[in-house]
Structure 1
Amino acid sequence: MNILHKITPFLYQLFNVTYGDKVKLIADITEYYTINQHLPVVKEKEGIISVDIPVKLYLDTVSYTHLISLCENKQFEKAYPVAVDLVSRTPSNSELNRIKGQIESELGETDKAVDSLIDALRWDPKNTYALIMMGNIFARDKNDIETAMKYFNQASVADPEDNISLNNIGANLMIMGRLDEAQEFFEKAEKLNNKYPNTKYGLAYVSFSKENYENAFQYVLQSLTLNKVKDGLFGQSIDLAKAIAEKVDASDDAAIALKSYAEKLELLTGKKIQIQEDTEIPTVAKVELAENHNRDYHLIKYKPGYPGVTHLVLHELTHIELAEEARIAGNHMLFTATHQHRIKFMTDYENYAKFLQKKGYPETSIAGVMNSLFEGLNRQVYNTPIDLFIEDRLYNDFPELRPVQFVSLYTLMMEGLDAVTRKEIVDLTDTKILSNSKIYNIVNALHFKELFSFDAIKLFKPSTLESRQATSLYKEYGDYRSDKEPGEEYELLQNWANDLSLSKYFQLVLESEYKKTAIDLDIPELKDIDENTEADQKIEMHEFQEKHQDANLNPAVMMFMVGALKYFKDKSSAEIKRTAFEIATIGVNGINPDKQDGYRVNSIPGSNFSGYQLLAYYYVSFALSAPQLLPELQLPFDREFESAKEFVKP
């Protein structure tokens, strides 16, 4: 076995000999390479020390294979004694010493790791993996950048084509604040390997530190795209993207873009635009169009503290622009969701409501869940296709704000991912509702991938059918996007809803034909009836009764009736009758079924009923205390009452 050492300051360091003391260096080298009393032949010529070792040691390949397997499975505690035994029998194997050093490093034995890596380098001074590992230990664990640089530099000398050593040199220079030098090494590493995510991250960080946010963003996107294992570097890259977005979001450019766009739309629509914070809205941002709220201004609300505020507001401004373009063309549509649509949803998912009831959830919670699912699904039906056109427009019109757009959309995508993959949610959500929601989320992920080359689709774990449906919907969007006419987004919206059998839960109505109360386009819901007069309330109550004579069973009312039957179970007939006539007094002025709370019945302490809940108690109290008067109430809930009794059998 022959080993060649070039006499350099690094060689003196490797054998811990004072630089220039060649006699001691050769003596120590001779001693080190003496194996089983077999002296090596050591010669020095023209700055090279040659070591010939007369003994040849053979590696136990079976044990070595076992060692590698343990390391690959991160079983380092089991691997360590195997490595120690192998090194004791084959000390001349450089790679074996390196593996032992890596195991010691993983186990937190830093000093032992350094000793093992020095052994690895003494047996093979060109073992670049050992050199890089030594550099990492001194930089990371010992905070000794100067020594780390010596090993990294040696690695670059040993293998000038090794991009990893160049990358690590750049990283350490970056830590030291020597940004120009760091960039130089990162660029050299990038030329050798343009697919190494660590180098892209390094270039992103250097650019960010130099306040070149455009370059920083492009590099961090490349780092994220190339990072297939989603390791610690992935998280660091996301954090850096957020830091870049924060800087851009707070810049004068962002403020100017927002102000200019709002002023442009005020001229286009002839109405002022107000922007305000609101912590109570169910989405991160929403727009209330002036025409839908009887105002002379458009109102945009957003949740403060949310990533990418500028993007959120720009997004809602674009909603205004698309709506106005469609209005000018005479085909602006309103997305309406009425009582009938809500009840149709409740009826279709009656079995799901019963499933929740069997799980022990109270009736009020079940009604709340059903309403939330109805509104949430309709939000996706309405927003997803329109949002694609909006994000395309923002991406093309505001290239300087793309970091903000990326972080904002990424945050929303991850929230959507959690909502359709988290086990607790999946276990308790109806499979059809969950699947439709996932499809809309995947459509957004497909668009995100096209804009930013970031693929998160597999994270949603779609079934083959879900993947095929989402891809089909997105392809249809592609057919519209290149030559979209004003208002065509509504056509796409309707097509998708038809494909997914969701069109029965809403109706698109031409604004020019819409004669009823306007609705909020982000959350389909009717305005509170409290804004009307008592006469209006009576009229609406009568219309409600008429419309529901032939309606399907209403699961929400049924569940409220279950609660009422349980409440009245231990009450006397007189107590029930007193409550019945108290509710009847309230009902003189009409009861708004859609009112979420505010109805208080004095004979039921602590009551704060919604409209439907009060109607359920109204019906049940009379059914139990004065059934002969039920026809006078004209409440179309006979089937709900019969079903409710099945849940409360003695």
Structure 2
Amino acid sequence: MDIQFIDPVLEVLEEVKSITGKGIEFIQKENLPTYAALQMARINMPSHLIYYKKEHDEIINHLIVHECGHLLRTFKCPENLRLIPYSNQRLKYDALKKIENEIEGIKKILSEDQIAHIINLWYDGLIRQVTNFPPDIMIEKWIYNQFPMLRSLQLKSIKKQHADSVSGLTEIVRKITPYTILFASNVMNYAFFRILGLHIGQNFTRQYSSTSYIGKGKELAAITEKDYINSHEGDNIMIEKWANYLNISDWFKWRDFEDVPPDYGKETSVNNSK
């Protein structure tokens, strides 16, 4: 590992070890669907795992602290209350069945083989958003408030995420994405960037000004800001509120923190839930 840590990161890594009883192993992995990925250690794992891309070396310190935020929020929660969201093939099938008419419409543009290739990206991406954005908001606020030295890296990281997100506003993406998924994704993006932008003094919502996502996005942001309980339990409550608001509450379920697949903790399972 050749990551050059700056002081606030070392402080957070020590806190993670103190709170969770385990350190973190860093693994470079280039084919991640996100900038970094965390696998929290379960009882039989010697350490937590953070996967990262080499290309993100410039912002890696921010990404690591962000993932540590997830660890701290989860492990500060009593064990019997630690729940994690998950999906499986049955849940995915049932969810996509509900929007099969939307998928059929896309066959005018994409072949069945092309749709089969990206259908998992649609579903997995939306589940990742709805189950991560609420705690992500609270973690980014925590980073901004507690670690001024990370603010410049944080801003670069959020701007990079923002640039990726606004690609969902393009005409080509609109044509090849089921409406239910596209609308929910962009509403979540708007709420996420509205809340964070107001907190750190940036305007991230300008590109949404003439879109149909503003109304629902503002409502979702207001729901989030109104009565968020700042804890792991509060994260899960807010995730449920987001899912209910977007009518996708049956697209995933909850299970006990230790109830993970047999391959959890192996590199092949890196895309599974935290």
Same fold (TM over 0.5): yes
The 5-angstrom pairing of residues 627-642 of structure 1 reads none
Separation (CA, whole Å) in 2 of partners of 1:336 and 1:495: 16
Q: In 1, are the aligned partners of 2:66 and 2:143 still within 8 Å (CA)? A: yes
Paired letter, 1:487: E
Q: Which residue of 230, 233, 237 maps to 1:484?
A: 230
Q: Which residue number corresponds to residue 283 of structure 1? A: 34
- 1:516 Cα shift? 6.0
Task: Tell me by how many angstroms 1:296 deviates.
Answer: 1.6
Q: Is the 8 A contact 2:129 2:188 kept in 1?
A: yes
Q: Go from structure 1 to structure 2 and tell me whether the alpha carbon gap of 1:407 and 1:516 turns closer, same or farther (over 3 Å shift).
A: closer
Match of 1:44 in 2: none
Closer, same or farther in 2 for the Cα pair 1:474/1:518, shift >3 Å? Answer: farther
Structure 2 counterpart of 1:456, from 204, 208, 213: 204
CA contact (8 A) 1:378 1:505 kept: yes
User: Per chain length, whose mean CA-contact separation is higher, i.e. which structure has more relative contact order (CA < 8 Å, sep 6+)?
Assistant: 2
CA contact (8 A) 2:28 2:54 kept: yes
Deviation at 1:500, TM superposition (A): 0.6
Report the 3-state secondary structure (helix = DSSP H, G, I; strand = E; otherwise coil) of the residue aligned with 2:34: coil
* 2:219 alignment partner in structure 1: 472
Aligned counterpart for 2:129 among listed residues 373, 376, 380: 380
Aligned-pair distance for 1:517?
A: 5.0
- Which SS does the other structure have where 2:173 is aligned? helix
Cα deviation, 1:498-550, whole Å, max 9, x if unaligned, reads: 111111110022336x476586898447xxxxxxxxxxxxxxxxxxxxxxxxx
Q: Go from structure 1 to structure 2 and tell me whether the alpha carbon gap of 1:517 and 1:507 turns closer, same or farther (over 3 Å shift).
A: farther
What is the identity, as a one-letter code, of the residue corresponding to 2:46? Answer: D
1:318–1:390 CA contact under 8 A, matched in 2: yes
Would the aligned equivalents of 1:335 and 1:524 in 2 still touch at CA under 8 Å? Answer: no
Q: Is the 8 A contact 2:197 2:203 kept in 1?
A: yes
Q: Who is 1:499 aligned against? A: 245
TM-score (norm: length of structure 2):
0.88
Structure 1 397/522 Cα, relative in aligned 2: closer, same or farther at 3 Å? farther
Alignment CA distance shift 1:360-1:383 (3 Å): closer
Instruction: Return the alpha-carbon distance in structure 2 between the equivalents of residues 485 and 341 of structure 1.
Output: 27
Query: Any idea what SS the aligned residue of 1:279 has?
Result: coil
Q: Residue 364 of structure 1 aligns with which residue? A: 113
SS of 1:450's partner is helix
In the alignment, does 2:9 pair up with 1:258?
yes
| 1:521-532 correspondence to structure 2 within 5 Å | 523-524=271-272
Q: What letter is aligned with 1:447?
A: I
- Per-residue deviation, residues 146-176 of structure 1 (Å, max 9, x unmatched): xxxxxxxxxxxxxxxxxxxxxxxxxxxxxxx
Do residues 301 (structure 1) and 54 (structure 2) align? no
Question: Does structure 1 conserve the Cα–Cα contact (< 8 Å) formed by 2:19 and 2:76?
Answer: no
Query: How many Å separate the matches in 1 of 2:238 and 2:6?
Result: 33
Instruction: Check the 8 A contact 2:224/2:238 in 1, yes or no.
Output: yes
Secondary structure of the equivalent of 2:54? Answer: coil
Contact 2:141–2:196, Cα closer than 8 Å, also in 1: no
Residues 271, 297 of structure 1: 8 Å contact kept: yes
Could you list the runs of 5+ residues in structure 1 that have no partner in the other structure?
1-249, 526-650
Compared CA separation, residues 255 and 443, structure 1 to 2 (3 A): same
Q: CA deviation at 1:479?
A: 2.7
1:538-557 aligned at under 5 Å gives the runs none
Question: Counterpart in 1 of 2:161?
Answer: 412
* Structure 2 counterparts to residues 136-535 of structure 1, below 5 A: 255-291=6-42, 294-306=44-56, 307-326=58-77, 328=78, 330-361=80-111, 363-418=112-167, 420-461=168-209, 463=211, 466-481=213-228, 484-511=230-257, 514=259, 523-524=271-272
- Match for residue 178 of structure 1? none
Report the Cα offset of residue 290 of structure 1: 1.1
Distance 2:142 2:99 in 1: 37
Percent identical pairs in the alignment equals 21
Structure 1 residue 408 displacement after superposition = 0.7
Cα contact 1:378–1:524 (8 A) shared by 2: no
SS of aligned partner of 1:290: coil
Q: Structure 2 CA distance, aligned partners of 1:415 and 1:382?
A: 18
Larger Rg: 1
Alpha-carbon spacing, 1:358–1:427, altered in 2? closer, same or farther (3 Å) = closer
Distance change >3 Å, CA 314–CA 289, structure 1 → 2? same
Report deviation, 1:299. 0.4
CA contact 1:335–1:382 (8 Å) conserved in 2:
yes
Q: Aligned-pair distance for 1:480? A: 3.4
Counterparts in 2 of 1:323 and 1:376: CA distance versus 1, 3 Å: same
Distance 2:113 2:10 in 1: 44
Deviation at 1:277, TM superposition (A): 1.9
Q: Which whole-Å CA distance do the structure 2 matches of 1:274 and 1:315 have between them? A: 15
Shift of 1:491: 0.5
Q: How many pairs are equivalent?
A: 267
* Alpha-carbon offset, residue 343 of structure 1: 0.4
Change in Cα spacing, 1:353 to 1:469, as seen in structure 2 (3 Å) is: closer
One-letter code of the match for 2:234? E
Separation in 2 of the partners of 1:523 and 1:365? 21
| Alignment deviations for residues 28-65 of structure 1 (CA, whole Å, 9 cap, x no partner) | xxxxxxxxxxxxxxxxxxxxxxxxxxxxxxxxxxxxxx
Q: Distance in 1 between matches of 2:255 and 2:209?
A: 36
* Distance of 2:84 and 2:271 partners within structure 1: 12
**Structure 1 residues 255 and 485: alpha-carbon distance in aligned structure 2, compared to 1, 3 A threshold:** closer
- SS of 2:65's partner is helix
| Aligned partners of 1:332 and 1:511 also within 8 Å | yes
TM-score, normalising length: structure 1 = 0.39
2: CA distance, partners of 1:360 / 1:470: 29
Residue deviations 1:69-99 (CA, integer Å, cap 9, x gap)? xxxxxxxxxxxxxxxxxxxxxxxxxxxxxxx
Report the Cα offset of residue 416 of structure 1. 0.4
